[in-house]
């Protein structure tokens, strides 16, 4: 009896990128919120959905008001500390948040905070759903 082996699913272009949370690429700065952020988009999967990584560096004492995101995401504190909705998060803290969940304010600790956020945008254009809506 002959066994058939299914063909592997077609994949995107092969390759890899390396970077650190200190030097991920181009930075944008928001002087009102006192934070810098850099966005790294991953390739689009076979369903047309994208994933976005955002590295955010908050200055000491930076405050970001209550808001929500349009996508599920995971947030990891990699340097410093931050208080989110009256709960302190230090290095190694991880939060998994469902799309549409309101939280805040965020208040960076005295040494500032660096966070890596991974957004499961679910769409090919991450700008459509990895955005914030402030209240």
Q: Is the pLDDT of residue 1 over 50?
A: no
Mean pLDDT, residues 74-78 taken together = 96
**Residue 55 within a domain:** yes
What percentage of the chain has pLDDT greater than the value 70? 75
Q: Are 123 and 45 in contact (CB under 8 A)?
A: no
Query: How far is Cα 92 from Cα 75, in angstroms, rounded to an integer?
Result: 10
**Residue 66 within a domain:** yes
Q: Which two tokens stand for residue 59?
A: 């200055």
Q: Could you report the per-residue pLDDT of 8-64, keeping only the tens digit for each?
A: 444 556 777 788 878 888 899 999 999 999 988 876 666 666 788 899 999 999 999
Structural domain harbouring 58: 30-81+116-135
**Residue 73 within a domain:** yes
Q: Which two tokens stand for residue 20?
A: 């650190």
**Residue 127 within a domain:** yes
Specify the number of domains making up the chain: 1
**Residue 24 within a domain:** no
In this predicted structure, what is the pLDDT of residue 13?
63
By CB atoms closer than 10 A (0-12, 13-18, 19+), residue 120 is: middle
Q: Are strands 72-84 and 87-90 parallel, antiparallel or unpaired?
A: antiparallel
């Amino acid at each position: 009896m002959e066994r058939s082996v299914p063909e592997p699913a077609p994949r995107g272009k092969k390759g890899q990128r390396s970077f650190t949370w200190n030097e991920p690429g181009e930075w944008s700065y928001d002087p009102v919120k006192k934070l810098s952020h850099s966005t790294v988009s991953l390739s689009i999967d076979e369903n047309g959905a994208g994933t976005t990584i955002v590295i955010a560096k908050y200055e000491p004492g930076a405050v970001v008001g209550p808001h929500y995101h349009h996508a599920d995401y995971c947030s990891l504190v990699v340097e410093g500390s931050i208080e989110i909705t009256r709960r302190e998060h230090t290095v190694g803290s991880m939060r998994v948040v469902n799309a549409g969940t309101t939280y805040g304010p965020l208040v960076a600790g005295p040494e500032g905070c660096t966070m890596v956020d991974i957004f499961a945008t679910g769409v090919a254009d991450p700008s459509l759903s990895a955005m914030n809506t402030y209240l």
